[in-house]
Chain A
Amino acid sequence: MAGQSDPHFSLFSAEELEFVAEDDMVEIVPNLKMDALNLISGDFGPFAPQIATQVPLWLAVALKRRGKCSIRPPEWMSVDGKEGKRVKRSTNNLTQVLEAERESQEMSEKLPFHYVEISRLLFDHARDDIPDVYMVRSLIEDIRDVRFHKVRTDLEAFNGRTIAVKIKNLSAMEVNIVRPFIRRALQAFCKHDSPELIPEPERVADKRPQLVNNAPRRQLRR
């Protein structure tokens, strides 16, 4: 939104979304010894070599670029969920998410809100820390395609009675892409399907007295 040349689009730029996504916590394994950092946004504990710590993503990326840590990819970002010696298979992995997405029309809720931005940052900076990086990348792309296709099929079913659109579990980047389109489409539909433009002989299905229902019936889509 900042620095937009065209004020009508009301779009967050992708870099801004990435900036916001960097607040998420991620686990790193530092290889340096450092005292605790007392920053405005929080205190990030003393760093000792080979001891895993939780830090925000921006700090993790900054440390990684100086070669002072290695980032452990988050749990949802794994191909099959088996991690080392853990016997119990994690339920949060990408192949399962992809299957769940393909089966149902609802969006899967297993992915975090900023999964697109986080995955891109990790691919750019921490490529060697992710096992099976090509597989992970292709899975995420597939998931993104399937979800976007679902968003599009949802959007097809507008009509003039829609005053709000509710799609659950949409991620930040997807929302950002469709935001200007949905806004204008809703405006156009509202303008064309307004009750005064169209006579309503067939909408008076129930012959109730005029006390009830002066305003046109509105429905919340899904």
Chain B
Amino acid sequence: MTKYYDIDDIITEEEIVSVIFQKAASGVGIDPSSENDYIETGSKVELPFWLAHELQLRQVVSINIPSCFDQKTRLEIQADCASVDLRSRCPFFYEFGCKIAPVVGDRTIGFLLLSAFKNRYKELLTKAHTAAFSAATKIWSILTNEEINLYEAAQSSMASFKKWRIGGPRFQKAPVLGRKRNQLNNYSLNLSGVFDKKELLGFYEYLISPLSLRGVTSINSAYYFNYS
């Protein structure tokens, strides 16, 4: 129940599974093609997972393995994991598999998930850290949501490192402050604004003896990060 508020969890449970009704049910409007509200025993219906799960606990339905874990997908994963388009099958492949596995009673889903993830992870590892933009769009379309999580983490850290490496001014004027500020007094600290580099160097000259250079720098950094 820790994931009750997790959006990803909610969307995962929306996935459609096909179930077979064990008992007849009346008064339900699930199947829009039927004329009356009556569902026969043994009829096959498509339901979202959260509903099917609850009904299975009450032993009204029995759940079949959904199509994203069927034989065709397994063969594809065995052949070449890294290029299997898992996203079109089910964007929450791994999460869904984790939920389905205890319910359906198929013990091999865990292996399938693990091997698929391991192999794709190796591929993901190299591509995430080094890929140029053109390769990036190609791989994005076949990753599930968890893999995109990993990928984005690596990409953003790599991008910020590259940006830092190129260089550039260390302190940047916050875009909030567009207007001109008054000249700083010699002996008063104007603590309400972000200092840009030129004024900070002026500070160094005035305050080098009583204040540590380090101290002034850290005040400035605090303001910089405040406004970023």
Contact = CB atoms under 8 A, between A and B. Distances in A.
B110 A197 contact: yes
B40 interface: no
Q: At the interface, is chain B mostly helix, strand, loop or mixed?
A: helix
Among B107, B122, B153, B217, chain A packs the most CB atoms within 10 A around the CB of B153
A14 B158 CA distance: 10
B101 interface: yes
A197 B101 contact: yes
Interface string A1-37: 0110000010101110011000000000000000001
B186 interface: no
Contacts of A9: 153, 156-157
Interface of B: 94, 98, 101, 107, 110-111, 113-114, 117-118, 121-122, 125-126, 128-129, 146, 149-150, 153-154, 156-158, 160-161, 163-165, 167, 170, 204, 208, 212-215, 217, 221, 224-226, 228
14 contacts: A3-B225, A9-B156, A40-B214, A41-B212, A62-B213, A152-B125, A155-B125, A156-B125, A177-B157, A181-B129, A188-B121, A192-B113, A197-B98, A198-B107
Given A41-B214, A178-B157, 20 more contacts: A3-B224, A3-B225, A11-B156, A11-B160, A13-B160, A14-B161, A14-B163, A15-B170, A59-B213, A152-B125, A158-B118, A160-B114, A176-B161, A180-B153, A181-B157, A184-B153, A185-B121, A197-B98, A198-B107, A199-B110
Nearest to B224: A3
Contact of A193 (B107, B114, B213): B114
Interface in A167-189: 173, 176-181, 183-185, 188-189
A159 interface: yes
B154 A198 contact: no
Contact of B114 (A40, A179, A183, A192): A192
A206 interface: no
Q: Is the interface of A mostly helix, strand, loop or mixed?
A: helix
A19 B153 contact: no
B212 A14 contact: no
A178 B161 CA distance: 11
A58 interface: yes
Given A180-B154, A181-B153, A192-B113, A39 B214 contact: yes
Nearest to A2: B225
Nearest to A117: B164
B118 A14 contact: no
Contacts of B149: 184
A160 B146 CA distance: 16
Contacts of A103: none
Nearest to B149: A184
Nearest to B163: A14
Given A152-B126, A156-B122, A160-B114, A188 B157 contact: no
